[in-house]
């Protein structure tokens, strides 16, 4: 296809969508707000246009503006890039006057994007989850007589923020903060073990492609966990889900799994899936045209960017996927330099929405 439009109001996930889109479109435009203006520095952004509206609270005249934009620039496909733009297309996609990437129904999106409502969905469908409670404030949690049922360590998190914002691990009652900067407060039992992520592309309740992986400080490696796939397939079928959906999962040392949260949208490591042979942008656009794609990815293992850079003088120690990842990075030096700076600032790790 010729021309895609990425709706963007940020940078981190939005850049990954841009890179994946550049592999299957001749031109990629960005209609951006907020931090998305950094995307104009990418060599893969053919044209950047500022958007003065709010994607999370769109007004009719702003929808009309997007519709006129799509007509004027002959947009072949509109792509979401985050929770807000996915929900926008779920709600108003039929009003923008251009084909758009598959997205779930708005009611489905709202049920899965909210961490408390997702916990309820898991309980209804029999998906394994840690003990989860909802409180209006931390003070309510501190006063709750059944708090000891959750035990320590526990995880505090908001119900609707993404990217690990507001997530805190609490090891003892004395560490409970007096307040947090959000309400309500979700309280969840901590699940020891390792972090796993599983993402799927779906059509009418059927999984058409999948990519699962384990991520640590040192590396990211593709893997398959049949139990996760089976539970995910049941949820996808229940909602007759369309589009991309992902799950953060914890696996205990004994092999038992627990679903932590759901991401009914594109995600941060979708570019790694592309390097493994699964470009979720390409496959989703093909679904719009009635074409199916491959069901799985090539097996791969990629060390962290910092560790890869340590082997630049010994390239024979890099595997095929790592060489491809380095080529991916150096093709866009301006954004890669920003990413290196961001990495240097963030010396913490999130594991399935849980701080280690």
Q: Phi and psi for 79 in degrees, rounded to 5?
A: -115, 135
Q: Say what the pTM is.
A: 0.88
Letter string b/e over residues 169-202, b meaning 16 or more CB atoms within 10 A of that residue's CB = bbeeeeebeeeeebeebbbbbbbebebbbbbbbb
User: Topology of 131-189 in CATH?
Assistant: Dna Ligase; domain 1 (3.30.1490)
CA 221 to chain centre: 17
| DSSP-based three-state secondary structure for 228 | helix
Give the CATH architecture of domain 194-355: 2-Layer Sandwich (3.30)
CATH of region 3-101: 3.40.50.20
The angle subtended at Cα 269 by Cα 54 and Cα 342, nearest 5°, is: 70
pLDDT, one tens digit for every residue, the chain (356 residues): 699 999 999 999 999 999 999 999 999 999 999 999 999 999 999 999 999 999 999 999 999 999 999 999 999 999 999 999 999 999 999 999 999 999 999 999 999 999 999 999 999 999 999 999 999 988 888 888 777 778 889 999 998 877 678 889 999 888 888 888 888 999 999 999 999 999 999 999 999 999 999 987 767 888 999 999 999 999 999 999 999 999 999 999 999 999 999 999 999 999 999 988 899 999 999 987 776 655 555 555 555 555 555 555 566 567 777 777 778 888 898 787 666 555 555 433 333 333 33
Domain ranges of the chain: 3-101, 131-189, 194-355
């Amino acid at each position: 296809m010729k021309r895609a439009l990425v709706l963007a109001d940020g940078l981190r996930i939005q850049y990954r969508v841009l890179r994946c889109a550049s592999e299957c479109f001749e031109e990629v435009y960005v209609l951006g707000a907020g931090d998305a203006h950094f995307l104009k520095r990418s060599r893969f952004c053919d044209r950047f246009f500022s958007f003065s509206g709010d994607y999370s609270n769109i007004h009719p005249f702003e929808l009309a503006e997007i519709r006129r934009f799509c007509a004027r620039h002959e947009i072949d496909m509109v792509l979401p890039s985050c929770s807000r733009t996915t929900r926008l297309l779920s709600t108003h996609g039929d009003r923008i006057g251009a084909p758009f990437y598959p997205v779930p129904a708005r009611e489905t999106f709202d049920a899965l994007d909210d961490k408390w409502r997702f916990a309820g969905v898991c309980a209804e469908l029999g998906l394994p989850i840690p003990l989860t409670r909802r409180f209006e404030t931390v003070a309510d949690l501190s006063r709750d007589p059944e708090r000891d049922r959750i035990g320590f360590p526990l995880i505090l998190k908001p119900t609707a923020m993404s990217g690990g914002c507001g997530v805190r691990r609490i090891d003892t009652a004395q560490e409970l903060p007096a307040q947090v900067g959000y309400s309500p407060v979700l309280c969840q039992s901590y699940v020891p073990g390792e972090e796993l992520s599983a993402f799927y592309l779906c059509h009418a309740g059927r999984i058409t492609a999948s990519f699962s992986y384990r991520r640590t400080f040192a590396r990211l490696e593709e893997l398959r966990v049949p139990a996760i796939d089976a539970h995910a397939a049941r949820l996808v079928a229940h909602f007759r889900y369309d589009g991309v959906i992902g799950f953060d999962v914890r696996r205990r040392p004994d092999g038992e799994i627990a679903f932590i949260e759901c991401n009914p949208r594109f995600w941060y490591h979708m570019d790694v899936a592309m390097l493994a042979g699964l470009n979720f942008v390409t496959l989703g656009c093909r679904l719009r045209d009635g074409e199916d794609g491959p069901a799985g990815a090539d097996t791969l293992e990629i060390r962290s960017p910092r560790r890869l850079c340590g082997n630049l003088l010994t390239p024979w120690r890099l595997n095929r996927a790592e060489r491809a990842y380095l080529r991916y990075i150096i093709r866009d030096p301006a954004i890669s330099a920003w990413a290196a700076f961001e990495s240097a600032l963030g010396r913490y790790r999130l594991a399935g929405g849980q701080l280690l």
